[in-house]
Structure 1
């Protein structure tokens, strides 16, 4: 499998990085509005599910203190130490996320015998993300709207319709872009986290003894007293840290330090104050009232007159959290396309100024349909909780595996220190993942099924492209031989012909077919290859490499990072070392469109070859992807057997 979308990756390290710049406080507030939406909405359901979910716990001091202790130390170990303190240092020129980390590792450790296994792990983490991006909007919006039942039980029949309308509306506005709406995200989430803190403080002040639950002893006591129930409880406790991976994935937008500051100074205290407040409230009630309140403790924190405003604020917060996940799905898909794991898809930029503001129609509508099906099938957030968590814990486990490679192979940490840290992370990740596996029959199968389907398609596309390029190289003629034989015999016509090819070697099939059928050559013939490097950005001075092959032939390699948009006409207009200036009205672009023929040749199973052929037929054309002028493009077909 090749990580390049349009050619082989470059071994150079061309980009010095594109870290976000600006006022630290402004970046930190922006991070609160975008990065922490998912983990910020977890108080709506995490504490509740631990006690009233599929494995109910007694509402006594032992279990309340034990759960609160587990939540706090999970946040400290998983979010603060693992992600904020360590993994976020493993940036790929300022960018984070599983694919960016995978590209970094692949670039630094190319040729290692365990390389293919690491690539598969990174791709599977990406596949699991798609399952998570379907469940998160359904779970968070539904849990917020269910607060209406706390305001008035008469709202119960309207919860599902309202949730569906909100979700459909959210996906409908994606094509407009979220740059302007995004300006309101920060203030709304700031207000939301302040409300979380105040609600928690009110109940903590009435029962300050709840603060001792932060002592790790209570988590240990919980395990020593109720081993099985404590283990099963981990499957719900982990809901408190879902969204931790978003800190890493969104690092390129805000930077490591602003995200770290936001987490430690504002978000972590607000979340823990709210969780402690929920615990204090439950312990202050008589058993009958506690059983009633535990069905939705978050909204019972507020006085009755303020519950409706709290529902509205929580719903806005969950919409923002969902928006962040949807935008994340677009961003991950763009990276996967550029790195060669997903076919070309139509990508629309919704803002001329905001970085990363893109819209991918196919991904948007697929997510919307999946989310609506989830809401209508599972019907309430408690049922959805069984499906939530397994994708996140799987991705967290894979991140730890990738971190092991970083610590030992890239950073060369002290082996004892690295082994101790990784052992702690693996124990926690495996415990959480194992606890979530018990949910598979109740809904956990859904994200796993989505992950398996996505993984199959991603690896099939990458493998198929590699085989197709190999078959094309096998039949390719050396360019030097072609120039000597064709330059003197073919008639030359005015203008420039640009032949797009995935391989920087040999003669493009489109050029051979043009000679075979038209028997002419343009005065200037450019063989152009687009290479996607394993870095997020390639600077302008490293963008183009031109080689004069003689007799009016030129070899051109155009390099992009996996976070950049390809625009070939724009690049050509700025080139001055390839003969006369390029004029689009005098330039023709020749593309080869391959038709695949599945065969029994070694390479892939026949069903995967047919799947790859279907994906190739439905991919966006190179003309649209590279922004070529439609009236200057000629496509020449050929058949390739893989």
Structure 2
């Protein structure tokens, strides 16, 4: 995800792999100490004091939330639910989508959309929280302006790739976690009894006795928000590296939270005045270095979420949940991608969030709500996955009761913040989710109306066309894209294009079919010879993590066919063949298919209107498939041949020229 895949073998545990995993998988959760205790303090302000009993309960909630939610659910259980080494909610969906539950895609859509919304809030919140540390030196620090400048830099650099700087992310995050742990240990001695927080009794007591527990739990939940990103980064780090590095990261996080809690016992009045306990507990001389370290950690966390968003959209395209878009690979490193429209769209939303909230403390309301939704959806998909794996039903029931109760509780704690800013992530996540739903169902509706014909019925016609020199030769090699799942069938619109729209005589006709494979890195092709020397169907079998650079792949296929003597290596035109000029190639992309409204139900009309809107956010097929315009022809063709009107129009007259 960060351009480091070539440095890690996900199947092996290595020291370097564990260190690099800190920079890839734990950037989000690693920056949570910047704002978690501050949020807990804000939840307690009304009482006017932070007594040890409250702090012990709050810290106990943090420790056991990290243990139950992050360690057990994600690090121990979820990392087992991988798709050939790939993790994340869409990879999990690909493991269960073959179950006879036609609505599971909705769960995946909701979870993925909420996670993308989290990708907008995380950069804004983490960067602003770090920069606010400068207010200790100068209360008039232009935090918003600096935050916007840093965010602009983060998103701008995406188009150039992060391979060169990415190698430093792991070591920087290792230093960050060490700093967290050391600062925590120093202040634990301010109030050693804070260690009682390891006892879950204090968490239970706070939950039972505190009248504002819902608000407090909303703040506590912020400590585990990076767990979903951790799961998504499985394919880049590997289970073993993540588990080992999490042991180190969790230790440092808990030490820092304990240190902040111990310091707050006697210094709570300072944070009530608006200071962040994370920076306030430091010696003044160390604040500036800490701000610089926090900013670096925030940038790494932001980078992880941004590239994670690219991965989610890429997977969504492969699963037909999002329109195809142009994807660039700026460094050529496997797994690192850049989607221009997504990148700049995320930046616009980040700007809106920063300018709307102005302070990191106000963003916390928007932050927790989106990720609780993602975690709930992941839990639901995990339940189906455990059923598929034939896990003991009592264990599945226990898992469901524990995590649905826990996450519904956190959802209740965050949903009350809807009008305080949570509506922003609901709006963004809702927009993305509705778009995914419309695209998936719109494709299904179109497929229902597409007419497929048996290719064998047209073989003789195409063969005669090839020999008919009265038809101008259209191309030597002519390629079409087909989505037919039956290798013996083809869309009628392709036949319409070849035979009727403009007769297209060619030496070789290629039907290109993209098969989305569940194995993330499947990279294969096979050839069906339909008519020897004339018609071939090429099946590209690609995993959802493999680039859709069909132009490059097809050129490789043509080279293989030339090497095997199946097709000639030189132009069919004598003058060009004499100079060893290779044969020409032309693609025909058939687009702009129209469905008459009266063929659709009310629901289908609504879905298709949304589908047509979402379509504008995508790229042309030839751009998405890596084709170049010089040899691509885009055509329109009717979706249906058969007449849709049952009544024939009545003729009432026919006047010949010259007659009265």
- Answer yes or no: same fold by TM over 0.5: yes
**Which of 107, 115, 126 lines up with 1:121 in the alignment?**
107
Structure 2 segments unaligned to the other structure (5+ residues): 1-7, 571-581, 645-660
Shift of 1:489: 5.5
Q: Secondary structure at the match of 1:359?
A: coil
Match of 2:272 in 1: 291
How large is the Cα RMSD of the aligned pairs?
2.2
Tell whether 2:213 aligns with 1:223. Answer: no
**Which of 563, 578, 587 lines up with 1:589 in the alignment?**
587
Counterparts of 2:465 and 2:345 in 1: how far apart (Å)?
53
Q: CA distance change for structure 1 residues 290 and 390 in 2, over 3 Å: closer, same or farther?
A: closer
Counterparts of 2:35 and 2:490 in 1: how far apart (Å)?
59
Counterparts of 1:49 and 1:140 in 2: how far apart (Å)?
13
Match of 1:447 in 2: 425
Match of 2:26 in 1: 36
CA offset digits 1:281-319 (Å, max 9, x no partner)? 01133x644634x73100012101111111111111111
Tell whether 2:156 aligns with 1:169. Answer: no
Check conservation: 2:120, 2:350, Cα contact below 8 A.
Answer: yes
**Which of 305, 308, 313 lines up with 2:288 in the alignment?**
308
Q: Secondary structure at the match of 1:129?
A: helix
Shift of 1:54: 8.2
Structure 1 length as normaliser, TM-score? 0.90
Q: CA distance change for structure 1 residues 489 and 274 in 2, over 3 Å: closer, same or farther?
A: closer
Q: CA distance change for structure 1 residues 373 and 596 in 2, over 3 Å: closer, same or farther?
A: same
Q: CA distance change for structure 1 residues 395 and 378 in 2, over 3 Å: closer, same or farther?
A: same
**Which of 510, 519, 528 lines up with 2:512 in the alignment?**
528
**Which of 233, 239, 245 lines up with 1:262 in the alignment?**
245
| Aligned pairs (5 A) from 1:356-367 | 356-367=335-346
Match of 1:580 in 2: 567
Structure 1 segments unaligned to the other structure (5+ residues): 1-17
Check conservation: 1:469, 1:502, Cα contact below 8 A.
Answer: no
| Aligned pairs (5 A) from 1:138-537 | 138-155=124-141, 158-226=142-210, 228-264=211-247, 266-285=248-267, 288-289=269-270, 291-292=272-273, 295-352=275-332, 354-409=333-388, 411-473=389-451, 476-488=452-464, 491=468, 493=473, 495-504=476-485, 505-507=489-491, 509-537=493-521
Q: CA distance change for structure 1 residues 468 and 338 in 2, over 3 Å: closer, same or farther?
A: same
CA offset digits 1:322-342 (Å, max 9, x no partner)? 111111111111111121111
Q: Which structure carries more relative contact order (alpha carbon 8 Å, separation 6+)? A: 1
Q: CA distance change for structure 1 residues 629 and 87 in 2, over 3 Å: closer, same or farther?
A: same
Tell whether 2:618 aligns with 1:619. Answer: yes
**Which of 63, 69, 73 lines up with 1:72 in the alignment?**
63
Counterparts of 2:243 and 2:13 in 1: how far apart (Å)?
15
Q: CA distance change for structure 1 residues 443 and 55 in 2, over 3 Å: closer, same or farther?
A: farther
Check conservation: 1:95, 1:252, Cα contact below 8 A.
Answer: yes
Q: Secondary structure at the match of 2:366?
A: coil
Structure 2 length as normaliser, TM-score? 0.88
Q: Secondary structure at the match of 2:168?
A: helix
Check conservation: 1:598, 1:609, Cα contact below 8 A.
Answer: no
Counterparts of 1:551 and 1:100 in 2: how far apart (Å)?
40
Shift of 1:21: 5.0
Check conservation: 2:45, 2:272, Cα contact below 8 A.
Answer: no
Counterparts of 1:189 and 1:449 in 2: how far apart (Å)?
32
CA offset digits 1:234-266 (Å, max 9, x no partner)? 1110000011001110000010110111001x1
Shift of 1:578: 8.7
Check conservation: 1:499, 1:508, Cα contact below 8 A.
Answer: no
Match of 1:96 in 2: 87
Check conservation: 2:12, 2:238, Cα contact below 8 A.
Answer: no
Counterparts of 1:22 and 1:170 in 2: how far apart (Å)?
31
Shift of 1:376: 0.8
Counterparts of 2:465 and 2:350 in 1: how far apart (Å)?
61
Match of 1:634 in 2: 633
Q: Secondary structure at the match of 2:544?
A: coil
Check conservation: 1:499, 1:527, Cα contact below 8 A.
Answer: yes
Check conservation: 1:68, 1:279, Cα contact below 8 A.
Answer: yes
